[in-house]
Every structure is written in C-alpha cells, then in structure tokens.
Amino acid sequence: MVEPLLASGRLKRLSFRNIENGLVLPVHAVWLKNQPLQKGALAFVELMAGQA
C-alpha cells in the first residue's frame, strides 16, 4: 500500500540505523470508540482504507 507513495515521492522512507532487516510490517490504526476522530485523523483513516 505504501510502496507506490514512496515511488512517487509523496512519502519519504525514514532511515534508522538499528532497523535494516528489510521486514515489511503492517500498520495498525487504533483509536478509542468513545472519542470520535477529528477531521485530520478521519481523513487519514479514510485514505488508508481506500488503499487496502
């Protein structure tokens, strides 16, 4: 999901000295049910859901 955004330059890969094993890991979005997402977070979740 992220790879096309990296290739287009819309996202930038952060380099860490201690994480160079090349593992592809999932990203989990978690929030409390009793605290609705604000506008920016809601837009982010909708964009990520559309990429799945």
Across all residues in the chain, what is the average pLDDT?
A: 82
Q: pLDDT tens for residues 19-42?
A: 666 677 777 778 888 998 899 988
Per-residue model confidence (pLDDT) at position 52: 58
Q: What is the pTM of this model?
A: 0.44
| Domain ranges across the chain | 28-52
- Residue 3 vs residues 9, 10, 14, 15, 48: alpha-carbon distances, Å: 10, 10, 13, 15, 13
Per-residue model confidence (pLDDT) at position 26: 79
Per-residue model confidence (pLDDT) at position 20: 65
